[in-house]
A and B are shown apart, each in its own frame.
Chain A
Amino acid sequence: MKKEEVPQDNGYLVKGSFRELCYAVDKDGNYVTEHTTGWTPKTIALSNAIDEINERVEKAKQKVLANQSSPIEYFMEVNKMDVSILASYVGMWNWQVKRHFKPLVFKKLKLKTLQKYAEVFEITTEELTQMAY
């Protein structure tokens, strides 16, 4: 990649406020560093990944509304986590977390357990139990 070819496509999500460093070749064939404001193929990939997450959040929300899952799954998706990441944050096994996705089990959870989840999601226990969309 030549220095003049370093892409400056303004990743629209960051709006040019965040410039990364690229390595490129100058006129004399020497390697130099050059800032880049973004590159369209990468921006598309990033925004697709974010759309994917938003879809997962929406799907989880519908599941909770249909009483097929508990708010824990919804907030897990909001925080871009999966079961194993969430489990390690709350210090439980994967199967325990999955069990807490069941609405009936969730209703019977102790306050202490709810607090653990709430703390990880950075919300109050009320917000967790009376999920506000």
Chain B
Amino acid sequence: MEINFEHHQSAHCENGVVSNLMRHQGFDISEPMVFGIGSGLLFCYIPFLKVNHAPAITYRAMPGFIFNRFAKRVGVEFKRKKFKSHQQAKEELDFNLKKNNPVGLQVGVYHLSYFPDEYRFHFNAHNLVVYGRKGDRYLISDPVMEKVTTLSEKELEKVRFAKGAFAPKGHLYYPVSFPKKLELNNAIVKGIKQTCRDMLAPVPYVGVKGIKTVANLIRKWYKRKGVKTANHYLGQIVRMQEEIGTGGGGFRYIYAAFLQEACKQLGNSELQKLSEEMTQIGDSWRDFAVDASRVYKNRATKTSVDLYEDLAQQLEAIAIKEELFFKKLKKAI
């Protein structure tokens, strides 16, 4: 069986799955729209969560949050289920496919056979859509891939029951009820307000303050932990910023695209100017990545101390830009 499902590649998996499932139901919602309404943009430094032996730094909201907020704000109801039994998880999936209902799944990346090797880390918050089954292979629409792909029954079971942080536990979801007409305007305003609140939060690890904290840490890491670890951490900042799914510049470009769309939707011309400003902020993040890569290119060789100072100052400049930006955005809406 195969459901007639249109696959669109997206930058990020969570937005992509929501956008693809909505389009399947006849609602034309773009990826940036999902990201913006779900308040996806963020900066957060999480020292106690180690990813690949370095502290986690994220440029977006926690997995699942974008999705939940989007659904709530536009009034779409999703059915979601987690499973203890592998058998039940499979039966529920097959049952939905038989009903011609494509479903979203949360999966772990490590065992995804079609992913390139260097992306296969133990990261459990990836999302994809299953839209049918041929023989013993499930038909997969993975939003970060250019084309649709397949997984065997065994492979799918493995990725659905990956273990570790954010273990998916077979998590499966699909939309069940829709409002007659999507109320986007209110949802956009709510989404923007929350992003402004998060980015300007008075918490040292979150938003603008979080960027400043990390800038300071760049000054200290090489003293405290040695050059090699400092460069490893620096590489981590850039990897998280440019990781598959970010659309470049730590999600800043996707957000700029959202602001442009919101400008047309709300008829608020101020948002177009702000979209351009956000694009420039994205460019600053990329400039930072270029300079950082010159430092971590040599993993253990001692680089001049000035370089770390320079990177820290660049990040602080970005923090100031973002602070001004979100204050303006808050006023504009």
Contact = CB atoms under 8 A, between A and B. Distances in A.
- To the question of whether A and B form a pair in one complex, the answer is yes
A44 B293 contact: yes
Contacts of B238: 41-42, 45
Contacts of B9: 21, 33
Contacts of B283: 1
Interface string A19-57: 111111100011101011001111011111111110010
A13 B282 CA distance: 25
Contacts of A49: 52, 118, 232, 235-236, 239
Contacts of A22: 11, 247-248, 253
A50 B232 CA distance: 11
Contacts, number: 116
For chain B, the bracket of interface size reads 35 or more
Contact of B11 (A1, A13, A23, A30): A23
B279 interface: yes
Given A82-B50, A88-B164, A39 B242 contact: yes
Interface in B221-259: 231-232, 235-236, 238-239, 242, 244-245, 247-249, 253-254, 256-257
B260 A31 contact: yes
Taking chain A's interface residues, is the majority helix, strand, or loop, or is none over half, making it mixed? mixed
A41 B290 contact: yes
Interface of A: 1, 6, 13-14, 17-25, 29-31, 33, 35-36, 39-42, 44-53, 56, 80-82, 84-85, 88-89
A31 B32 contact: yes
Contact of B164 (A31, A47, A48, A84): A84
